[in-house]
Amino acid sequence: MTTRLTDDQCREAVREALDSLPPGLSSQLRGVAVIVEDSHPDDLMGIYDPRGGMQRIVIFRDTNPTADEVKRTVLHEVGHYFGLDEQQLGELGYG
């Protein structure tokens, strides 16, 4: 059985992932909400959702069992925010 992160642990891993971004990159994320939810009906690990006038990145705790997975998912979704597609993210190691 896989142990999942607590809500606080997942949020801390998200903060650490965002703090690891270079300053020039992180300053361009203004106006993007990064939130943690328990799960997604399709078992997604994360999603970049630009709809409805509010841009947001959602990280799903249930499918990110470790802090390393959370970081990888955050960086993957930040890549989508900057316009990278799945192939480009895969080439960077975040596919």
> If 0-12 CB within 10 Å is exposed, 13-18 middle and 19+ buried, where does residue 60 land?
buried
pLDDT of residue 27: 86
**Domain for residue 70, yes or no?**
yes
**Domain for residue 90, yes or no?**
no
Percent of the chain topping pLDDT 70: 98
**Domain for residue 43, yes or no?**
yes
d(CA 76, CA 95): 7
| Chain mean pLDDT for the chain | 91
Condensed to tens digits (0 to 9), the pLDDT of residues 15-54 reads 999 999 988 888 888 889 999 999 999 999 999 998 777 8
What is the tally of structural domains in the chain?
1
pLDDT of residue 92: 87
Q: Indicate if the pLDDT at residue 73 is higher than 80.
A: yes
**Domain for residue 95, yes or no?**
no
pTM of the model: 0.90
- Asked if residues 71 and 12 have their Cβ atoms less than 8 Å apart, the reply is no
d(CA 3, CA 77): 23
- With a CB cutoff of 8 Å and minimum separation 6, the contacts of 2 are 65
Boundaries of domain holding 51: 7-84
Report, in angstroms and rounded to the nearest whole number, the Rg of the chain calculated over CA atoms. 13
Residue 66 is part of a domain; what is its CATH number?
3.30.2010.20
- Asked if residues 58 and 46 have their Cβ atoms less than 8 Å apart, the reply is yes
Q: Indicate if the pLDDT at residue 2 is higher than 90.
A: no
**Domain for residue 69, yes or no?**
yes
